Amino acid sequence: MSFLLFLLLLILSSLTSHLNATTSLRIGVNLGQLGDNLPPPARSIELIRRLRAKAVKIYDANATVLSAVSGTGIRVSVMLPNQLIPSVASNQSFSDSWVSSQILPFYPKARIRYLLVGNEILSDFSISNSTWPHLVPAMANLKRSLRSHSIHNIKLGTTLAMDSLSVSFPPSAGAFRADIATSVITPLLRFLNSSKSFYFVDVYPYFPWAANPSSIDLDYALFAGNPSKYYTDPGSGLTYTNLFDQMLDAVFAAMTRLGFGQIPIFVAETGWPNNCDIDQIGANIFNAATYNRNLARRLSHKPPIGTPARPGMVIPAMIFALYNENLKGGPGTERHWGLLYPNGTRVYPVDLTGKLPDRKYPPLPAPTNNAPYKGKIWCVVDEEKGVDEKALVAALAYACGQGNGTCEGIEKGKECFRPNTVVAHASYAFNSYWQQFRYSGGTCFFGGLAVQTTKDPSYGSCKFRA
Ligand SMILES: *[C@@H]1O[C@H](CO)[C@@H](O)[C@H](O)[C@H]1NC(C)=O
Ligand SMILES: *[C@@H]1O[C@H](CO)[C@@H](O)[C@H](O)[C@H]1NC(C)=O
Ligand SMILES: *[C@@H]1O[C@H](CO)[C@@H](O)[C@H](O)[C@H]1NC(C)=O
Ligand SMILES: *[C@@H]1O[C@H](CO)[C@@H](O)[C@H](O)[C@H]1NC(C)=O
Ligand SMILES: *[C@@H]1O[C@H](CO)[C@@H](O)[C@H](O)[C@H]1NC(C)=O
Ligand SMILES: *[C@@H]1O[C@H](CO)[C@@H](O)[C@H](O)[C@H]1NC(C)=O
């Protein structure tokens, strides 16, 4: 009898530990597809499976991706594009037909679990009138559309950036922006609370650190701070060991201020860039691997750690992103968030189950750009990639049209006119443009035609500004 009981207990415990092993994985990946060199969706899903990620988020409801992920058991978050929000909100039939055409063909074979309505819409002020007021009505219509097909296990949400807060430091002072708090956020939180969904937020410790590396310790941003660098919030008395927790607790505080402190957080995007331009800092393989490994370990911990203000809370997260995406504009970091290169090779190994201890990983290349580069930098044509003359001509014309006297130096008879080639003139123009605009958001990119260099491209009497 007692032996049978023992046997039963043994079976039960192995069953539950098996369940834990298969259901507790809290880390997924974002499948961004802004690259012209990325594998087809079926291969992407296979790569996600090999990373042992159990969840994927996409930025639309791409049919090829949804059929590729069908039957794999991977949980899926799909997104309704921002520009459809007004139509969905004002027209129940529109909502019904979107759900019928985009979701139903793949559900339930594709394990769609979250329908995210828009991407960081409250960061786009150009749609403040046209779209923000329609967010929650759109979510309500989509929920009705799903219910009409008796679908109860797809939750509605929307992903917001940290800039929906006007105060995030100290975390206990966290507050939503005044322009959205009562008009958009309160109805949103009421909806999320009553439908038992999550507040989805994109959380990137990289950005506050990179904007302020002298006042924030890098190790604190990488979950690797030592106790002398911990931060105690004077408002709450809580001690923070890392920047990620600090950012999440600012969101919790802001929700609490509006009366909805119990809504759980889902980290819709987080990560660390693995490379960057010369004038940026801290984006390298060492830091990216350290951040994502520590994140996976922390969020997968059993029992769940939570945050100082929400101890024990499970915090699911999606790492951004599967690939380095070469078509993203902006500074170099934007194109280097991937766990994988476009050819499917890992940029660095990372165990998303969080089980592998640091000592089991092979050594990482030492970081070289954790401090700002102090020397001069120029912006020139990236000749290594092979030169696309037609694109260069267009980029040259664009650059010359910006700023003051941008292309004077390459006018006929001027010191940089010769050699009179598109490449030479474009290099001059890119540099002249970038030197004027680099501190006001201008980037040295030009659709991939330009690259930063520390080697002075000046020659003879032709001087390149720096
Ligand atoms: C789905 O994604 C694939 C791969 O990026 C792309 O080729 C295809 O055009 C997308 N389909 C739609 C309908 O956007
Ligand atoms: C509502 O959406 C349906 C389905 O897309 C469409 O046929 C209809 O014209 C829309 N009605 C209005 C008033 O826009
Ligand atoms: C939104 O509407 C207000 C009031 O009509 C107006 O002042 C503002 O310029 C509009 N904003 C946008 C982005 O259209
Ligand atoms: C949140 O939802 C719970 C359960 O559905 C409810 O009891 C509570 O009153 C809601 N909170 C607010 C602030 O509406
Ligand atoms: C994949 O791409 C990376 C980065 O360009 C390169 O270092 C690596 O050798 C490539 N791997 C294969 C198998 O081609
Ligand atoms: C161009 O010149 C105008 C007038 O002197 C000035 O206001 C503007 O800031 C200059 N632009 C740049 C990019 O230097």
Write down all domains in the chain, each with its CATH number in brackets.
Answer: 3-360 (3.20.20.80), 378-453 (no CATH)
Q: Cα separation of 265 and 276, whole Å?
A: 29
The answer to whether 121 touches 132, Cβ cutoff 8 Å, is yes
- How confident is the model at residue 387, as a pLDDT? 87
**Which atom of ligand 1 lies at the shortest distance from residue 60's CA?**
14
CA of 404 to the centre of ligand 6 (A): 6
- How confident is the model at residue 23, as a pLDDT? 41
Q: Cα separation of 240 and 304, whole Å?
A: 16
Greatest Cα pair distance, the chain, in angstroms, is 102
The model carries a pTM of: 0.93
List, for the chain, all residue ranges whose pLDDT scores fall below the cut of 50.
Answer: 1, 3-24
Joined together, the tokens standing for residue 431 give 């540099």
CA of 142 to the centre of ligand 2 (A): 15
| 179 burial level (CB within 10 Å; 0-12, 13-18, 19+) | middle
Q: First CA to last CA across the chain, in angstroms?
A: 85
- How confident is the model at residue 13, as a pLDDT? 43
Q: Cα separation of 98 and 12, whole Å?
A: 44
- How confident is the model at residue 385, as a pLDDT? 81
Find out whether the beta carbon of 264 lies less than 6 Å from any atom of ligand 6.
no
The answer to whether 158 touches 118, Cβ cutoff 8 Å, is yes
Name which of 219, 198, 221 is nearest 209 in CA terms.
Answer: 221
Give ligand 5 pocket residues (Cβ under 6 A): 341, 343, 345
